[in-house]
């Protein structure tokens, strides 16, 4: 797990930073599709090869820039604090939706990019999708133990329903707002 290479010129951390900053800035102001690699390296002031030394594609760079920026934002909500598991789920979803007001369109583009690139699909899954899946699954499991959810319910399928509804609305251009968060939570916990 230690550094592989103690030989050769070391990577410049500054170049990393410049590229990630340029990526976030340009993607947010022009949109993912309209940011070319050429524009990225021009904005960052680095060479083309320096980008490809670090990432395989624009999608890879933007994913890292985005996850760096939202670190520590996704965490398991406390049902006791929220009042109930249903309220905790609602608040958790609402928090995610609020954050997507800024980067939702970029996330859509990343999901799109993942469809044509298996390696990036894997990266998106491990860095973005799975952490959120685990939180929801844990929340539902706790709710089921506490009796807030009937014992017969299929936790993993309910988790797929929640994330699926989220993706479905995101990718179809439907709004993700507080009402949506409330309705999803209500439907999951419906008797």
**Interface residues toward a second copy, by CB under 8 A:** 32-33, 108-109, 111-116, 118, 121, 125, 129, 150, 152-154, 157-158, 160-161, 163-169, 171-173, 183-184, 186-187, 190-191
Closest CA to 59 of 49, 48, 51: 51
Least distance from C-beta 165 to a second copy, angstroms?
Answer: 4
Q: Which of residues 52-91 bind DNA (CB under 7 A)?
A: 52-54, 57-58
- Please choose, out of 47-55, 137-145, 146-154, 155-163, the segment that lies near DNA by the rule CB under 7 A: 47-55
Q: Between 14 and 134, name the residue whose CB sits nearer to a second copy.
A: 134
Name which of 56, 45, 43 is nearest 15 in CA terms.
45
Phi, psi of 9 (to 5 degrees): -70, 130
| N residues, the chain | 191
Distance (Å, whole) CA 166 – CA 19: 30
Which of 102, 186 has the CB closer to a second copy?
186
Q: Which residue, among 68, 89, 107, has the nearest Cα to 161 in the 3D structure?
A: 89
Q: Tokens for 7, please give them.
A: 């030989």
Least distance (Å) between residue 95 CB and a second copy = 19
**Residues lying near DNA in the complex (CB under 7 A):** 5-12, 15, 36-39, 45-50, 52-54, 57-58
């Amino acid at each position: 797990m230690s550094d592989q290479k103690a030989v050769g010129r070391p990577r410049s951390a500054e170049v990393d930073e410049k590229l990630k900053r340029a990526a976030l800035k340009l993607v947010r102001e022009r949109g993912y599709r309209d940011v070319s690699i050429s524009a990225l390296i021009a904005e960052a002031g680095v060479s083309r090869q320096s980008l490809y030394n670090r990432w395989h594609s624009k999608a890879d760079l933007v994913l890292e820039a985005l996850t760096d920026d939202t670190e520590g934002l996704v965490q398991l909500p406390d049902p006791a604090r929220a009042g109930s598991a249903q309220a905790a789920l609602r608040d958790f979803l609402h928090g995610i939706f609020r954050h997507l007001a800024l980067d939702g369109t970029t996330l859509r583009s990343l999901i799109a990019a993942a469809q044509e690139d298996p390696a990036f699909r894997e990266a998106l899954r491990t860095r973005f999708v799975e952490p959120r899946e685990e939180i929801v699954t844990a929340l539902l499991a706790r709710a089921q133990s506490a009796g807030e959810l009937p014992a017969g319910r299929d936790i993993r399928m309910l988790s797929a329903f929640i994330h699926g509804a989220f993706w479905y609305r995101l990718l179809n251009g439907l709004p993700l707002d507080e009402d949506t968060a409330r309705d999803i939570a209500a439907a999951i916990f419906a008797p």
